[in-house]
């Protein structure tokens, strides 16, 4: 298993290195992603006003201050430093995004490949179930779950996992189906090894590298989707403590005409994350695409 993991990481690494050498926008995207991740990890420790960042320290007397040396990105309507809030929120956004992606990837790979090599009935059931889940809108699912479970944030994550893993299971299914007639998958099943074992040993290692790239490319969308949902959740909420990009944006919406920075700073952060992740994956895709990597013009 270790050697498999090593091989997969090696594949991904060589893709990244090759693209890095060729494309400037890929380098920029990589640097931005690295900065975002470092900030997300260090955020709570380097935030200038950690108590305001957490949302505890509220002081209306310094509300809606424009950007200055003291508060680089200004303050929001409850007098909290926007930069500190963003740093705290970034931490949370990245962690929840990683949780969503990782869980849906693992679920997707296993369910998808099991559908490909399992029995026919199971295959059909899974394909219908996947399509059904894909039809459910994630916000509404999240709000249903939040009413049922009482917890706000976890229900959002679960709803996202429920709507994202069908994608991965569909991709994994298609890839595993192309493998299932090959000897190294067929023979072990024929000799009676368990299907889970075959998936772990023979299928997953072979499909994980392209799916990892796929997942990386979705990271930006997941961050966006989480904050879009929290934005919609936050619209109705009267007062918020928790640092979350979507909630911050929802809450600052009413001050947009008087204090645009409270709105623009978190939105721009989100845009930056989403754009750099998209560029990251698309550049790799282009570099390995037999047609796109070449120049072309109307030569005839």
Partner 1 sequence: MVLAIQSRELYIGYEVEESATLWVVEKLGIEVEHKTTFCLIGESGCGKSTIGNAIAGLLPPYARTRGQLVIFDKIVIDRDKRFFNGVRGKIVVKIPQDPASSLNPFMTIGKQLSLAIKHHYPNLSEKDVVNKAVELLEEVRLDKAVFNLYPHQLSGGMKQRAAIALALVPEPKIVVADEPTSALDAYLRFAMSTLLKNLQKEWELTLIFITHDISVARYVCDKIAVIYAGRVVELGKAYEVLESPRHPYTELLLESVPRRLSRKRLADIPGMPPHPGKYPPGCKFHTRCPYVFDRCRYEEPLLIFLNSRAVRCWKYYGYSA
Partner 2 sequence: MLTLNYIIKRIFISILLILGIVAITFILTQFTPGDPAVIWAGKPRGPGAAIAIAKAREYLGLNLPIYQRLALHIYRFFVGDWGLSVEFKQPVSYLVVRNFVASLEIVIYSFAIAIPLSMWMGTKASLSRGGLADKCIYFVSVILAGMPRFLVAALIYLALYIVGYGYLGLRVAPMYTTFSGPTGMITIDSLLLGRLDIFIDSFLRLIPTAIALSTYPIGVVARVVRVSLSETLEEEYVREAISLGLPRKVIVNKYARPNIVPVIAQLVGLLFSYMILETMVIENVFSREGLGTLISRAIAASDYPLIIGATVFTAIVLIVVNTLADIVQAITNPRVQL
In the numeric block, which tokens belong to residue 79?
């007098």
The stretch among 5-13, 46-54, 92-100, 138-146 that binds partner 2 (CB under 8 A) is: 138-146
| 115/121 Cα distance (integer angstroms) | 9
Going by C-alpha positions, the residue among 299, 296, 300, 287 that lies closest to residue 22 is 287
Going by C-alpha positions, the residue among 102, 89, 99, 25 that lies closest to residue 53 is 89
- Degrees to nearest 5, angle at CA 162 with 150 and 144: 30
Residue 113, CB-side half-sphere exposure with 13 Å CA sphere: 26
Residue that is written with structure tokens 């310094």 in the block = 62
> 22 contacts which partner out of partner 1, partner 2, none, CB within 5 to 8 A by kind?
partner 1
First to last CA, the chain: 52
Q: Which of 164, 233, 251, 261 binds partner 2 (CB under 8 A)?
A: 233
Q: Which of 227, 247, 261, 284 binds partner 2 (CB under 8 A)?
A: 227
Residue that is written with structure tokens 């990105």 in the block = 73
* CB of 123 or CB of 286, closer to partner 1: 286
Contact 25, 283 (CB under 8 A): yes
> 214 contacts which partner out of partner 2, partner 1, none, CB within 5 to 8 A by kind?
none
* CB of 95 or CB of 140, closer to partner 2: 140
| Cβ atoms within 10 Å, residue 222 | 23
* CB of 34 or CB of 144, closer to partner 2: 144
Fill in the per-residue mask, 111 to 130: x = in contact with partner 2 (CB under 8 A), - = not in contact: -----------------xx-
Return left, alpha or beta for 75; rule: phi > 0 is left, psi -120 to 50 is alpha, else beta: beta
User: Is residue 279 a contact point for partner 2 (CB under 8 A)?
Assistant: yes
> 190 contacts which partner out of partner 2, partner 1, none, CB within 5 to 8 A by kind?
none
Residues 65-124 binding partner 1 (CB under 8 A) are none
For 299, list phi and psi in degrees, rounded to 5: -95, -5
User: Is residue 17 a contact point for partner 1 (CB under 8 A)?
Assistant: no
The three-class DSSP label of residue 27 is: helix
User: Is residue 22 a contact point for partner 1 (CB under 8 A)?
Assistant: yes
Handedness of CA 278, 280, 283, 287 (dihedral sign): negative
The stretch among 11-19, 49-57, 62-70, 232-240 that binds partner 2 (CB under 8 A) is: 232-240
Residue 116, CB-side half-sphere exposure with 13 Å CA sphere: 27
Q: Which of 131, 178, 184, 187 binds partner 2 (CB under 8 A)?
A: 131
* CB of 52 or CB of 230, closer to partner 2: 230
Q: How many residues bind partner 2 (CB under 8 A)?
A: 57
Binding residues vs partner 2 (CB under 8 A): 25, 128-129, 131-132, 134-141, 143-144, 146-149, 220, 224-225, 227-229, 231-233, 235-237, 249-250, 253, 256-257, 260, 263-264, 267-268, 270-271, 274-275, 278-279, 282, 289, 291-292, 294-298, 300
Which residues contribute to the site for partner 1 (CB under 8 A)?
Answer: 22, 294-297, 299-300
């Amino acid at each position: 298993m270790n050697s498999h993991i090593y091989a997969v990481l090696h594949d991904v690494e060589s893709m990244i290195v090759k693209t890095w050498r060729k494309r400037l926008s890929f380098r920029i995207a990589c640097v931005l992603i690295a900065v975002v991740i470092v900030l997300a990890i260090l955020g709570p420790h380097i935030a200038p006003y950690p108590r305001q960042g957490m949302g505890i320290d509220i002081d209306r007397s310094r509300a809606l201050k424009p950007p200055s040396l003291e508060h680089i990105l200004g303050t929001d309507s409850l007098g909290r430093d926007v930069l500190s809030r963003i740093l705290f929120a970034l931490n949370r956004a990245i962690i929840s995004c990683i949780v969503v992606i990782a869980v849906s990837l693992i679920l997707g790979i296993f369910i998808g490949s099991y559908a490909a090599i399992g029995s026919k009935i199971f295959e059909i059931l899974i394909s219908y179930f996947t399509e059904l889940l894909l039809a459910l809108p994630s916000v509404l699912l999240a709000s249903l779950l939040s009413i049922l479970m009482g917890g706000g944030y976890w229900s959002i994550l679960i709803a996202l996992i429920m709507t994202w893993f069908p994608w991965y299971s569909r991709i994994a299914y298609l890839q595993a189906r192309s493998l299932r007639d090959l000897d190294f998958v067929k023979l072990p099943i024929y000799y009676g090894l368990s299907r889970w074992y075959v998936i772990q040993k023979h299928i997953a290692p072979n499909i994980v590298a392209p799916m990892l790239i796929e997942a990386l490319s979705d990271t930006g969308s997941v961050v966006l989707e989480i904050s879009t949902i929290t934005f919609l959740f936050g619209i109705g909420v009267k007062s918020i403590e928790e640092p979350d990009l979507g909630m911050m944006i929802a809450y600052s919406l009413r001050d947009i005409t008087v204090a645009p920075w409270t709105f623009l700073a978190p939105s721009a952060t989100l845009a930056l994350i989403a754009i750099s992740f998209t560029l990251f994956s698309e550049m790799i895709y282009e570099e390995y695409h037999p047609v796109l990597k070449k120049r072309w013009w109307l030569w005839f």
